[in-house]
């Protein structure tokens, strides 16, 4: 049996769908705070808050052959690193109490670095907490998510301005879809011999100028790219609804990305997603399937 944390979320939902396709007759248990819309035969749901319920999570992981875990720090966290550490500790303790099942964890490029990467530092600490459990581990380290641009794209459709958080906005950078990362995670859950680290990139590079141009083409309206100076990024992220702590950590990550300080650790297993940015942006268009 496989267990999927956050199966109703952006990545977890694709892990769930792909694993069902790979193993149509397998038992699945999904763990989330909210009930999924529907449950197929052979799928069990456990309502658990993985941020603080060690016993509930350990019970949900009991008898699992493989488990997908992630550390989804809420955007309103008062102290983003303290909250991330609490989630890491809860998951790690639950893994040990459940008998150390095989773990596949979502992580990020740059997670091998202990400092200087902003919010990615929390994923470095998450990896370390899981390593301390002595459970069999696979870390799926993803590049930048294309879906992170969706709020900017939605705002640009209304205002005609794309607020660019990278400097310069025409620099080409790696980006991958949550769908493709979820598919890689599902394959790692299925494969008992998955390596310790799998890097995931997109099929091509994109700049913020590219993203804005694609959105302009899809929406049929002119979109101007407006670079946001580094000093103004924390305030811009706060204005989008993030807590001051989360906004500062995200701004620091963007500063590190601009400076080239968030590399992938070179690993023999690097996989590429096939979803285009246009496909991801299409979810914002009326009458377009997501």
Structural domains for the chain? 2-145+175-201+262-275 (3.40.50.720)
Q: Give the pLDDT band of residue 287 (cuts 50, 70, 90).
A: low
Of the candidates 91, 84, 105, 92, the one whose C-alpha atom is nearest the C-alpha of residue 133 is 92
Give the pairing type, strands 66-69 and 102-108.
Answer: parallel
pTM of the model: 0.96
The string over 35-53, giving b where at least 16 C-beta atoms fall within 10 Å of a residue's C-beta and e elsewhere, is: eeeeeeeebebeebebbeb
Range 39-59 average pLDDT: 90
> So what's the pLDDT on residue 156?
96
Q: Are strands 137-142 and 173-174 parallel, antiparallel or unpaired?
A: unpaired
Query: Is the pLDDT reported for residue 236 higher than 50?
Result: yes
Distance of alpha carbon 236 from alpha carbon 163, whole angstroms: 9
């Amino acid at each position: 049996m496989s267990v999927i944390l956050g199966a109703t979320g952006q990545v977890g939902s694709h892990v769930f769908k792909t694993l069902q396709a790979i193993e149509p007759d397998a038992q699945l248990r999904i763990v989330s705070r909210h009930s999924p819309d529907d449950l197929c035969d052979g799928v069990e749901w456990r309502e658990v808050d993985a941020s603080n319920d060690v016993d509930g999570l350990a019970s949900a992981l009991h008898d699992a052959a493989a488990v997908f875990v992630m550390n989804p720090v809420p955007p309103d966290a008062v102290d983003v690193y303290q909250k991330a550490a609490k989630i890491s500790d809860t998951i790690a303790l639950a893994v040990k109490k459940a008998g150390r099942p095989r773990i596949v964890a979502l992580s990020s490029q740059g997670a091998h670095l202990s400092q200087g990467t902003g919010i990615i530092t929390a994923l470095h600490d998450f990896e370390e907490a899981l390593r301390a459990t002595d459970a069999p581990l696979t870390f799926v380290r993803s590049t930048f998510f294309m879906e992170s641009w969706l709020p900017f794209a939605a705002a640009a459709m209304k205002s005609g301005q794309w607020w660019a958080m990278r400097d310069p906005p025409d620099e080409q950078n790696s980006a991958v879809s949550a769908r493709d990362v979820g598919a890689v995670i599902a394959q790692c859950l299925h494969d008992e011999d998955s390596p310790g680290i799998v890097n995931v990139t997109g099929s091509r590079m994109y700049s913020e100028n590219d993203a804005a141009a694609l959105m302009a083409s899809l929406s049929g309206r002119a979109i101007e790219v407006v670079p946001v100076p580094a000093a103004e990024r924390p305030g811009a992220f706060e204005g989008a609804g993030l807590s001051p702590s989360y906004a500062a950590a995200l701004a620091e990550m963007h500063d590190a990305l601009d400076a080239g300080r968030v590399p992938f650790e070179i690993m023999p297993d690097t996989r590429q997603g096939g979803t285009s940015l246009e496909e991801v942006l299409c979810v914002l268009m009326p009458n377009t399937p997501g």
